[in-house]
């Protein structure tokens, strides 16, 4: 039995419940974050990756939805680290903080309602079990930002992701590429997409109805710096351009850097992990596990002396 933070207290997982009448359950009224903790065996330390940025985005999501949290960003960061300690987290972990509308009334409203916080965690290694994956282009389109805010992470919006991924799975693929209403590449079902073509690392901008991804932002920053020194372009990508890409990979908190072998049964490049993808994955892994002091500010240690530092400092 693990420990979850739920409604202002640390409780056993089984006690972290809501009513069947809850607005959050009936209408998906809430928002969440996805955070990774990376275990470093040599240091005996669990590093939470870009904790401050994840917490800030969680609060931005709440602000976009009009939710009013009763805790501060510092509070959420401290609770998250304490939750990992209470679960004796000494391996790679995934952590999910959620703000949800904590009301059992009938109507689907986001105004004049209490907002509660829950955070749970679980051990998580590789999200996709294969080294590289096969994708299809989904018949489901990405929900437009003016319909359900893509810049936030609203819980209800992930029905769109679930439909796309379920369609892909039924047709023998690992995941799906989802297009915008105008027919351009947005992202995968729940991960960002990068393409390598003609010597450039290309990614759709965050204005293409996709999330402002923290892992995506990290990869963009690492890619242009030494030792990678890649040329990076953020622009629109068409569906057929993916078919002739040299390399494609997905990125995200759960997906990390996941190579793509094929899309719609078209082999990508050689069909194997490409050199740029391999280099980016290795660089990201090294930084996330504390291997480069230049990026120490991206990591919050759970077991070390610096655990109590503020979110702003992390």
Six-digit token string for 75: 């509070």
Six-digit token string for 144: 């437009």
Which pLDDT does position 126 carry in this prediction?
87
pLDDT at 246 over 80: yes
Is the fold of 3-125 the same as that of 133-288? no
The pairing of beta strand 115-123 with beta strand 30-32: unpaired
Looking at 9-107, list the stretches that DSSP marks H as alpha helix, in order from N- to C-terminal side.
Answer: 23-27, 51-65, 73-86
Catalytic positions? 153
Q: Can you state the angle between helices 275-288 and 214-224, rounded to 10 degrees?
A: 110
- Separation between Cα atoms, residue 200 and residue 234, nearest integer Å: 10
Nearest Cα neighbor of 288 from 262, 312, 252 is: 252
- Separation between Cα atoms, residue 43 and residue 153, nearest integer Å: 33
pTM beyond 0.95: the answer is no
Which pLDDT does position 157 carry in this prediction?
95
Six-digit token string for 26: 């009936």
Quick one: DSSP state of residue 73?
A: H
Degrees, nearest 5: CA angle 59-63-65: 115
**Which residues, other chains included, contact 207 with Cβ-Cβ below 8 Å and sequence gap of 6+?**
145
Residue 308: phi and psi, rounded to 5, are -85, 5
pLDDT at 210 over 80: yes
Fold exhibited by the domain 3-125: D-amino Acid Aminotransferase; Chain A, domain 1 (3.30.470)
CB 222 within 8 A of CB 243: no
Burial class of 93 by CB neighbour count within 10 A (0 to 12, 13 to 18, 19+): buried
Domain ranges in the chain are 3-125, 133-288
Superfamily of domain 133-288: D-amino Acid Aminotransferase, subunit A, domain 2 (3.20.10.10)
pLDDT at 93 over 90: yes
Six-digit token string for 39: 């275990």
Residues 100-150: tens digit of each pLDDT: 999 999 999 999 999 999 999 999 998 998 899 999 999 999 999 999 998
Residues 256-296: tens digit of each pLDDT: 999 999 999 999 999 999 999 999 999 999 999 999 999 99
Six-digit token string for 60: 């931005």
Which pLDDT does position 6 carry in this prediction?
98
The percent of the chain in helix, strand and coil, each rounded to the nearest 5, is 30, 30, 40
């Amino acid at each position: 039995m693990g420990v979850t933070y739920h409604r202002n207290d640390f409780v056993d997982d089984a006690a972290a419940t809501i009513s069947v009448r809850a607005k959050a359950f009936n209408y998906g009224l809430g928002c969440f974050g996805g955070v990774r903790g990376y275990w470093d065996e040599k240091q005996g330390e669990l590093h939470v990756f870009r904790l401050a940025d994840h917490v800030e985005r969680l609060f931005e999501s709440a602000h976009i939805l009009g939710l009013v949290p009763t805790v501060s960003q510092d509070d959420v960061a401290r609770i998250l680290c304490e939750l990992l300690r209470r679960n004796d987290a000494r391996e790679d972990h995934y952590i999910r903080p959620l703000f949800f509308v904590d009301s059992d009334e009938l109507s689907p409203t986001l105004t004049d309602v209490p907002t509660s916080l829950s955070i749970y965690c679980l051990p998580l290694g590789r999200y996709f079990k294969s080294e590289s994956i096969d994708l299809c282009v989904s018949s489901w389109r990405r929900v437009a930002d003016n319909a359900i805010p893509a810049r936030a992470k609203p819980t209800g919006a992930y029905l769109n992701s679930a439909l796309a991924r379920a369609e892909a799975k039924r047709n023998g693929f690992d995941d799906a590429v989802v297009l915008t209403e105008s027919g351009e590449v947005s992202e995968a079902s729940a991960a960002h997409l990068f393409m390598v073509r003609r010597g450039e690392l290309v990614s759709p901008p965050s204005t293409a109805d996709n999330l402002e991804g923290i892992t995506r932002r990290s990869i963009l920053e690492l890619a242009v710096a030494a030792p990678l020194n890649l040329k990076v372009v953020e622009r629109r990508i068409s569906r057929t351009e993916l078919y002739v890409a040299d390399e494609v990979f997905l990125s995200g908190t759960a997906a990390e850097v996941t190579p793509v072998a094929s899309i719609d049964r078209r082999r990508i490049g050689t069909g194997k992990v490409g050199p740029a993808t391999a280099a980016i994955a290795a660089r990201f892994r090294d930084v996330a596990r504390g291997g480069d002091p230049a990026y120490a500010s991206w990591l919050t240690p759970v077991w070390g002396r610096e655990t109590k530092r503020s979110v702003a400092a992390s």
